[in-house]
Amino acid sequence: MPATVKLKEEYGSDLAVILVECQGADEQKFMKFAAARKWLGREMMWTRERPFMTGAKGLPNYALLDETGKIVSMGNPLRDHGKITDEIDAAIARSKKGPKGLPKEAAKVRKLRVKGQWAKARAALAKEEADAEGAAAVALGEEREELDRAFSSFVARAEWLLGNGYPQRAKELVDVLLKGSKRDDVLLGRLEPLAETIEEAKQELAAAKELSRLERAFYEDGPDEKLSRRIAKMASKHAGTKVAVRAEVLAEWARK
pTM here?
0.85
Q: What is the mean pLDDT of residues 105-125?
A: 95
Q: 106 or 40, which is more confident?
A: 106
Q: Following DSSP, what letter does each residue of 14-48 receive, concatenated?
A: G---EEE--SS--HHHHHHHHHHTT--SSS-EEES
Q: Is the pLDDT of residue 51 over 80?
A: no
Q: Are residues 6 and 38 in the same domain?
A: yes
**Which contiguous run of DSSP H or E holds residue 69?**
none
Strands 62-65 and 45-47: unpaired
Last residue of a domain, one of 95, 110, 130: 95
Q: Are residues 53 and 106 in the same domain?
A: no
- Is 221 within the bounds of a domain? yes
Q: What is the mean pLDDT of residues 149-161?
A: 96
How many domains is the chain built from?
3
Of the candidates 128, 97, 113, 129, the one whose C-alpha atom is nearest the C-alpha of residue 180 is 113
Residues 126-150: pLDDT tens digits? 999 999 999 999 999 999 999 999 9
Supply the pLDDT for residue 20. 84
What is the rounded distance in angstroms from the CA atom of residue 158 to the CA atom of residue 134? 37
Provide the domain limits for residue 61: 2-95
- Is 234 within the bounds of a domain? yes
Q: Are residues 112 and 193 in the same domain?
A: yes
Q: Are residues 69 and 112 in the same domain?
A: no
Q: Are residues 131 and 207 in the same domain?
A: no
Q: Following DSSP, what letter does each residue of 73-115 receive, concatenated?
A: EEE-TTTTHHHHHHHHHHHHHHHHH-STT--HHHHHHHHHHHT
Q: Are residues 11 and 104 in the same domain?
A: no
CB atoms inside a 10 Å sphere around CB 6: 11
Q: Are residues 47 and 110 in the same domain?
A: no
8 A C-beta contact, residue 118 and residue 187: yes
Q: What are phi and psi of 199, to 5 degrees?
A: -65, -30
- Is 131 within the bounds of a domain? yes
**Which contiguous run of DSSP H or E holds residue 67?**
none
Q: Which residues contact 161 (CB under 8 A, 6 or more apart)?
A: 167, 169, 170, 173
8 A C-beta contact, residue 8 and residue 43: yes
Supply the pLDDT for residue 129. 95
Supply the pLDDT for residue 247. 96
∠ at Cα 119 (114, 120), nearest 5°? Answer: 70
Q: Are residues 191 and 115 in the same domain?
A: yes
Q: Which residues contact 14 (CB under 8 A, 6 or more apart)?
A: 88, 92
Cis geometry, peptide bond prior to residue 167 (ω within 30 degrees of 0):
no
- Is 230 within the bounds of a domain? yes
Q: What is the mean pLDDT of residues 189-208?
A: 97
Supply the pLDDT for residue 112. 96
Q: 190 or 33, which is more confident?
A: 190
Q: Are residues 114 and 187 in the same domain?
A: yes
Q: Are residues 195 and 207 in the same domain?
A: no
Q: Are residues 32 and 68 in the same domain?
A: yes
- Is 163 within the bounds of a domain? no
- Is 8 within the bounds of a domain? yes
Q: Are residues 86 and 28 in the same domain?
A: yes
What is the rounded distance in angstroms from the CA atom of residue 138 to the CA atom of residue 129? 10
CB atoms inside a 10 Å sphere around CB 82: 8
Q: Which residues contact 224 (CB under 8 A, 6 or more apart)?
A: 218, 254, 256
